[in-house]
Structure 1
């Protein structure tokens, strides 16, 4: 066996290195760990390792200082340097002093295997140690863990036949102690990954660190492995019983990742599978639950066992939207903000875990509000380009709360315009006029009587009304009466003359003529046709 020492000023990197490749299978024993240059040199003197893998930049003595001292003492120790940055001047010095290789963090498994293989070859040649010859063949094949990760990745995706998977498992001599398999899908906080502090190397290093921490926790609860899915992780846990507390495991994962690595994760627990053949179903249910994470805060744990979510509530959603629009027209800012909370709750329910549905529903609220403002004479000056920009931004939000904050800001902007625009008084007047007509259409409403309600002369009122509704007053009232006549005709057993009286016509013949003009048939004919259909 060859002896090796690992050195880095970050303990989690040392842990990761120990798990990254199968040291024992390669014939290498880790005999020491160091976090400073001085400590590393002391251990080299004491243990005379064959191999050292060390960060090039450490406190109390750099890696260059260490390799110089090794060379001065004519030790046969081989050194591989690692660093979090592309420090080419360091790399040049390291290789000049006889370093085997120089790797950049986060370390790729294949590159580390290659570097260690190179070091073992050099040791063999220098010491004529034939015992290491058989170990070098390991580098020509993927190690057992890598093969397992690839196999399970294909099983979760469903792109491998079960018979083929069984043959691969048998070839790897893989035994499972538990009868159940569950997938935990771990999603790293998107906002934190996308801010300016994280470059590509740092992101990869972070995912590498999270993977190592999660892998360590799995072993406490049973066995399993971690598969990379882009910037997220698929954790496969092999456990004994369906009722095993995976919620507790997920909570510990979330809390320790936040404590040690300062990043939030959302974890979704899939439905347990009673055989490895059904692992894809567990993965699919975890992914399905992840859809709901859009509506939750970061750091949430979602499980297949939670109460089933259902859509619906479209009627309540429409009522909530209408209430918000009325509050905006009435210029009640506090009421608008309170009603928006209720509206967003109905949106989340109706969307049923679908982000795209939520985006469409809140955008519909925005467009309906703008159309209502236009109808009452308030020009909001929103260009088609600006609307397109809003839509694009809304689809990019990663959390529902970010989407609702954006919509709330737009609605409050509209409210501000309603409050300050010259047309705000006209909007209030139109609201009064429309509500009066809706309540008194069965009475003898004339243009003159309506004009007096809002303190306008009839000529100005006629022009004012047409400007805001694009209809003349008489036709508008007739349309309201006819709509209510249809409602009474289809929903009650009232006779035609009774309906005529209830919608403001004292002459049934005049009512029938007006009805036919609006709908093409006399009232009774219209009712018979509708009922027949």
Structure 2
């Protein structure tokens, strides 16, 4: 096996090479790269089995190019980052990485990832391009190069199974499928493209027949996107890009679908992915009241009745993680962020990141929440509540009240003001007043960028009676006045 270590830190590269030697892993050649250019050069020259790469070394403008290199020249990827962010998780998913490691790294974890990657690379079934109708002008180049091939009389069919592991089976199925006119079949990382020259007029009918025949042999859901010759696309690459975009609507409508170009699918609707303060308070209330029925109704109304134009799926994934943040606080309040429930929580987080269908994510989240609420009820009966987290939840739910005081928070959690203040300072290193001010300023920053409310209106909405006092505290916290901050963020967006 060949391994390429793409890591900017010289000491970490040396440590990895030492680990491979110490653990006697079956790696015959280890290559090292400290820059992106070195990485691409070695990938192209050596085609390593495993790529261990620091994602932070890849500038945004080089991401698409690097993705092509990774998918062309290596089998398995171990991604590493110093930033445990949703964006990094998305990048690791896009590359179908074995794992995303977050620095600082643990040797045992590195060893496990390397063993897993080596095992998968050794046993991986190669997906060869099947024998199909041959046309030199219809190839992978025509999919990825704009000037390569005009659309002309070409029709494109893109197929994807809901389960990524079924790709090999799908390629085999299409290879021997009795098409009326056999296409050029081009397998990709997680889907298959079929290109037809002068196809029959009833492509939709044939696509439905493929779905029926596939499901007769496999219960795995399949989606098919069709781009006909008269779609208005000038090149095969345009057709392919359009098909990929249309495929994303399966997140909302599910698989077992034949999807054609449709105006309502052409663009995503803008939305704010984060919960508003009122929605946060609603979630805090639903969770604290153990209201399963209301939570179910909220989730169904929010996610299962979305009309076109759809919002960007990534925005909805972010919105779901925003809900998870409220759930996380609830878990800590009842000391349920450990062992079995912690593992279940991480599984739900993975569902949000990986699952291709929205209603399946919602279903899994609700099942998790029902179990969590049952356990929280038991914990409530045993008085295992975390007083600090309960008080913070109360502050987050009532910060807009200008009369909110430490006495009110302490009363809500059943402790004396002095004792609660002591616990808060000990655990979070800040006073009640600092926490309240930080919460109000954070919401004010969101309102300044997301709304056109006046400074005075925002001050009142976040709990300040005096706009001048609000402005002074805001500048102390951000080094800018509210108006300067709004202008600065507005310039960033443009």
| TM-score, with length taken from structure 2 | 0.50
Does residue 287 (structure 1) correspond to residue 254 (structure 2)? The answer is: no
2:114 matches 1:147:
no
Deviation at 1:407, TM superposition (A): 3.4
> Partner of 1:491 in structure 2?
455
1:343, distance to aligned residue in structure 2 (A)? 3.9
The residue aligned with 2:374 is 416
In structure 2, distance between residues paired with 1:151 and 1:203 = 24
Alignment partner of 1:147: what SS?
coil
What's the CA shift for 1:396? 4.2
Mapping of 1:264-283 within 5 angstroms?
264-270=221-227, 272-273=229-230, 278-283=235-240
Which has the higher Rg, Structure 1 or Structure 2?
Answer: 1
For residues 313 and 466 of structure 1, do their structure 2 counterparts lie closer, same or farther at Cα, with a shift above 3 Å needed? Answer: farther
2:163–2:220 CA contact under 8 A, matched in 1: no
Residue 402 of structure 2: aligned partner = 441
2:337 to 380, 384, 400: 380
- C-alpha distance in 2 between matches for 1:257 and 1:408: 31
Aligned to 2:365: 407
Structure 1 position 332, deviation (Å): 1.1
Q: Which residue of 2 aligns with 1:206?
A: 173
**Whole-Å Cα distance in 1 between the matches of residues 220 and 473 of structure 2?**
68
Q: Secondary structure at the match of 2:138?
A: helix
Q: List runs of 5+ in structure 1 lacking aligned partners.
A: 1-107, 111-144, 167-177, 195-199, 219-223
Provide closer, same or farther for how the CA distance between residues 205 and 401 of structure 1 changes in structure 2, counting only shifts above 3 A.
same
Q: Using a 3 Å threshold, how does the CA distance of structure 1 residues 238 and 360 change in structure 2: closer, same or farther?
A: same
SS in 1 for 2:255: coil
- Aligned CA distance change for structure 1 residues 346 and 519 (closer, same or farther; 3 Å): farther
CA shift, 1:234, in A, is: 0.8
Match among 312, 318, 321 for residue 363 of structure 1: 321
Residue of structure 2 equivalent to 1:184:
157
Aligned to 1:236: 196
2:298 corresponds to 1:339: yes
Alignment of 1:9-158 (within 5 A): 146-148=133-135, 150-154=136-140, 156-157=142-143
Q: Which deviations, in whole Å up to 9, do the C-alpha atoms of 1:162-207 show, x marking residues without a partner?
A: 6xx89xxxxxxxxxxx97432122334537838xxxxx7x766533
In structure 2, the CA distance between the partners of 1:469 and 1:313, relative to structure 1 (3 Å rule), is: farther
Contact 1:347/1:361 (<8 A) preserved: no
Query: Partner of 2:175: helix, strand, or coil?
Result: helix
Q: Is the 8 A contact 1:311 1:352 kept in 2?
A: yes
Report deviation, 1:321: 5.9
Of 285, 288, 292, the residue aligned with 1:329 is: 288
Change (3 A) 1:349 1:184: same
Among 355, 368, 377, the residue aligned to 1:397: 355
Cα deviation for residue 300 of structure 1 reads 0.8
SS at match of 2:249: helix
Distance 2:436 2:257 in 1: 54
CA distance in 1, matches of 2:258, 2:183: 20
C-alpha separation in 1, matches of 2:241 and 2:222: 19
Match of 1:38 in 2: none
- What runs of 5+ residues in structure 2 fail to find an aligned partner? 1-128, 489-494
- Contact preservation (8 Å) 1:182, 1:272: yes
SS of structure 1 residue aligned to 2:265? coil
Give the 3 Å change call, closer, same or farther, for CA 233–189 of structure 1 in structure 2.
farther
Contact 1:207 1:232 in 2 (8 A): no
Partner Cα distance (2:134, 2:350) in 1: 41
Distance between the aligned counterparts of 1:459 and 1:303, measured in 2? 65
**Between 465-474 and 322-331, the greater mean CA deviation after superposition:** 465-474
3-state SS of 1:152 partner: coil
SS of 1:186's equivalent? strand
Residue 367 of structure 1 deviates from its aligned partner by: 3.4
The count of residues paired between Structure 1 and Structure 2 equals: 343
CA displacement, residues 289-314 of structure 1 (integer Å, 9 cap, x when unaligned): 12333443221111113523543453
Give me the TM-score of the superposition, normalised by structure 1: 0.47
Structure (1 or 2) with the greater helix fraction:
1
Structure 1 residue 410: Cα displacement: 3.9
Mapping 1:212-231, distance limit 5 Å: 212=178, 215-216=179-180, 225-229=183-187
Deviations 1:427-447 (A, max 9, x none): 89748954896475348x573
- Are the equivalent residues in 2 in contact too, given 1:180–1:272 (CA < 8 A)? yes
Shift of residue 370 of structure 1?
1.2
SS at 1:380 equivalent:
coil
Deviation of the 1:262 alpha carbon: 6.3
SS of 1:341 mapped into structure 2 = helix
Structure 1: how far apart are the matches of 2:219 and 2:255?
A: 13
Q: Secondary structure at the match of 1:408?
A: helix
User: Equivalences for 1:298-309 in 2 at 5 Å?
Assistant: 298-309=255-266
- Asked if structure 2 preserves the Cα contact closer than 8 Å seen for 1:181 and 1:279, the reply is yes
Q: What CA distance in whole angstroms lies between the structure 2 residues aligned with 1:187 and 1:531?
A: 44
| Separation (CA, whole Å) in 2 of partners of 1:278 and 1:417 | 57
- The separation in 2 between residues aligned to 1:429 and 1:276, in whole angstroms, is 57
